[in-house]
Chain A
Amino acid sequence: MSIWSYANPVKFLALSIRVQPFLWTAALICLATGLIWGFFATPDDFRQGSTVKIIYLHVPAALMAINAWFMMLITSLIWLVRRHHVSALAAKAAAPVGLVMTLIALITGAIWGQPMWGTWWEWDPRLTSFLILFLFYLGYMALWEAIEDPDTAADLTSVLCLVGSVFAVLSRYAVQFWNQGLHQGTSIPVTTGARTVSDVFFVPLLICMIGFGLLFAALVLYRTGTEIRLRRIRALRARMERTL
């Protein structure tokens, strides 16, 4: 049985309903452990004081904000190539979640930046690219809302997602050129493995990241299910009107 069999909405719904309780529970456990551990059981950083603890919200949210767009890119491509409705609806369902993740990353960053950098906002490349990502999410969602025919809306938003991805990457490098950053580099480089953050902070952070990932998956499955049911209701209504 290939993964494409889940392009059938019935099968997809059945699986997602079976998986969701586990996802929600796992997300809840991870987030509760990670956040409580991070907030109450880790020592204060010797320079940053207790403000360092906002990292447990900021980094996972930023991670998921980018990955949500990446997921939308993949599902949009699947829709354009194989025309599975579930895929298009999953992209639609992920957009608001990604938008909120971006907002969390921006707001927690501002709250951290106020005592640390002495400013709420700085036109730093990373901050600026996140703001631009936020605008992309807004435009994407607005386009979904504006078009009545669902298939056309899925087509157009998919192309917007593809084109937007290219321009988001371009903007990322453009703003890097335009202003040198205040934002510190990553402390957890995956490729080199040269971590600069000590295990005391890293383990709860990792748990939080996993928790955010699970939460994102659960939210997207839940919202996709809602979209599928909405689509079904609309189809039933249309059929009823025709028979009447």
Chain B
Amino acid sequence: MIALLTRDLRLALRAGGGFGLGLAFFLIVTTLVPFSVGPHTDLLRVIAPGILWLGALLACLLSLDRLLALDYEDGTLDLLLTAPLPLEAAVSIKALAHWLTTGLPLVLAAPVLGVLLNLQPAGYGWLVVSLAFGTPALSVIGTFGAALTVGIKRGGLLLSLLVLPLYVPTLVFGAEVARRGASGLDVSTPLLMLAGITLGVIALMPFASAAVLRMGLR
């Protein structure tokens, strides 16, 4: 398992593109928002938590089609399928590697981009917390989407269509935490719901992803 994790991390770091791309995309989305809604700082302050969450979500989505497609092309997936390691574990590790290379940098970069959007001082902490709680769910759900579309050529658009509706609950609660945090309200209810969704998804989704992979590669 650790070998698979280090392999995935090393590939993401050295193969170029994949690692920084999500971050760069996040930066660009955040930069484009003021252009589209106008440079009014008051307005930006209100929508900043939502924009940052949406940007992180899209950046996560962007890197999903690389998650399993490359392994599918070079045959690694077939090896994983026959390996003694249960496929559920392999899929979880894949999701973890995806989170470490995409989700975690997004969490760390979000406060910096919050400055650009004039986020309120109280909001930074809760923004980071909500993203830290929510992005693992995005990675795990995304792995399921990637597993569904692994055998399909040019499945990128289909992947977005399948995965985005599944992201709704995470986005609702995650953005709610960030928004309430920024305006100084009590965040415990949405935060607990967000954590519940993330934990539930981590516990159950790998089984669905592995089942789907077995069906798709049979």
Contact = CB atoms under 8 A, between A and B. Distances in A.
A178 B176 contact: yes
A143 B148 contact: yes
Contact of B168 (A132, A147, A160): A132
B46 interface: no
Interface string B150-190: 01100100100110111011001100100000000000011
Given A135-B164, A143-B162, A163-B208, A177 B216 contact: no
A159 B168 CA distance: 19
Given A155-B215, A160-B148, A143 B158 contact: yes
Contact of B216 (A139, A142, A152, A175): A152
Contacts of B99: none
A147 B152 contact: yes
Contacts of B190: 177
Determine the main DSSP class of B at the interface with A. helix
Given A142-B161, A159-B212, A167 B168 contact: yes
B193 interface: yes
B142 to A, nearest CB: 13
Contacts of B218: 152
Contact of A178 (B151, B155, B172, B208): B172
B101 interface: no
Contact of B197 (A147, A155, A156, A170): A170
A212 interface: no
A206 B214 CA distance: 46
Interface in B102-152: 144, 148-149, 151-152
Interface in A174-227: 174-175, 177-178
Place the interface of chain A in its size category. 20 to 34
A138 interface: yes
A152 B152 contact: no
A171 B165 contact: yes
B173 A142 contact: no
Interface string B200-218: 0000010010011001101
A98 interface: no
B168 A152 contact: no
Interface string A141-175: 01100110000100110011011100100110011
A175 B197 CA distance: 14
A174 B169 contact: yes
A156 B216 CA distance: 7
B211 A171 contact: no
Nearest to A141: B161
A159 B151 CA distance: 16
B165 A135 contact: yes
Given A156-B212, A167-B166, 13 more contacts: A132-B168, A142-B158, A143-B162, A147-B151, A152-B218, A155-B212, A155-B215, A156-B216, A159-B215, A174-B168, A174-B169, A174-B193, A178-B172
Interface of B: 144, 148-149, 151-152, 155, 158, 161-162, 164-166, 168-169, 172-173, 176, 189-190, 193, 197, 205, 208, 211-212, 215-216, 218
22 contacts: A139-B161, A142-B162, A146-B155, A152-B151, A156-B212, A159-B208, A159-B211, A159-B212, A159-B215, A163-B144, A163-B205, A167-B165, A167-B166, A171-B165, A171-B169, A174-B168, A174-B169, A174-B173, A177-B173, A177-B190, A178-B172, A178-B176
